[in-house]
Amino acid sequence: KIFRQALREVRRESRDVILDGQAARREAANLLQQPTLDSNALAAALERARNADVTVRARLEQRIVEFAASGSPEDRQLLADALLRRAGRQPPPAK
């Protein structure tokens, strides 16, 4: 529960960055719908979206590191299991 609150806090703190990334994706979609493609503008919009995504991910990962550093081995195991699920691999059965 504390971990999820920490992640929500990061998303709240990153609201402007998230909104910029969303705006950049909308801009890219709009550019793709134009009769003539402006490749440079499309590349710039996609780069802005990517940079926003990377910024938010880095902030989330830093919070994970902070949580893991202050948590118990059981807390770290829960994080490891979650990462394995996200990676498409189920964690080994509990011993």
CA-closest candidate to residue 64, choices 5, 3, 2, 1: 3
Alpha carbon distances (Å) from 69 to 7, 62, 63, 65: 15, 11, 10, 6
The full set of domain ranges for the chain reads 2-86
pLDDT digits (tens, 9 = 90+) for 39-88: 999 999 999 999 999 999 999 999 999 989 998 998 899 888 888 988 88
Q: For CA atoms 86, 88, 94, 95, give the dihedral sign.
A: negative
pLDDT digits (tens, 9 = 90+) for 10-37: 999 999 999 999 999 999 999 999 999 9
CA-closest candidate to residue 8, choices 45, 60, 73: 60
Global pTM value: 0.78
The conformational region for residue 13 under phi > 0 = left, psi -120 to 50 = alpha, else beta, is alpha
